[in-house]
Copies of this chain bind each other. A is one copy, B any other.
Amino acid sequence: MKKFGSSEKFLFGDNIEWEVVGEGVKRKIMGYDDSIMLVNVHFDKGGIGPMHAHYHSQVTYVVSGIFELTIDKETHLLKGGDSFYIPPNVLHGAVCKESGVLIDVFSPIREDFMGEE
């Protein structure tokens, strides 16, 4: 597997550019090594994370906003202070009901989020 090394140790949000990843959805990669990666994802109201799956384990913390989260065949509304866990290879997706921020963390690193070097 390709190795990516690691990020800086201190990451200042104001210094990191947003990357637009869909309509009403943008992200900042905010810390990683080959075994873990943290991503700040901002959703406008109506922004969608389409149903998808990946072999990485994922945990996500809802910082703010309201999200309709589907994991496998179960759907719940989550708000700031809630979180969710997605096992490897399980389908999941989100619809943003009120603008907010998710902190997505993956193990191992999401190679597909890393630009060509």
Query: Can you give 9 A-B contacts (C-beta < 8 A)?
Result: A6-B85, A6-B87, A8-B85, A9-B86, A9-B87, A10-B74, A32-B59, A36-B57, A38-B85
B105 touches A74 (CB 8 A): no
Q: Which residues of chain A (57-99) have a CB below 8 Å from chain B? A: 57-61, 63, 69, 71-72, 74, 76, 78, 81-87
Range, interface on chain A: 35 or more
Give the CA-CA distance A32 to B87 in the complex, in Å.
Answer: 9
Within the complex, which residue of B36, B63, B74, B84 is in contact with A107, where a contact is CB–CB below 8 Å?
B36
A30 on interface, CB distance cutoff 8 Å = yes
CB A87 to nearest CB in B, in angstroms, measures 6
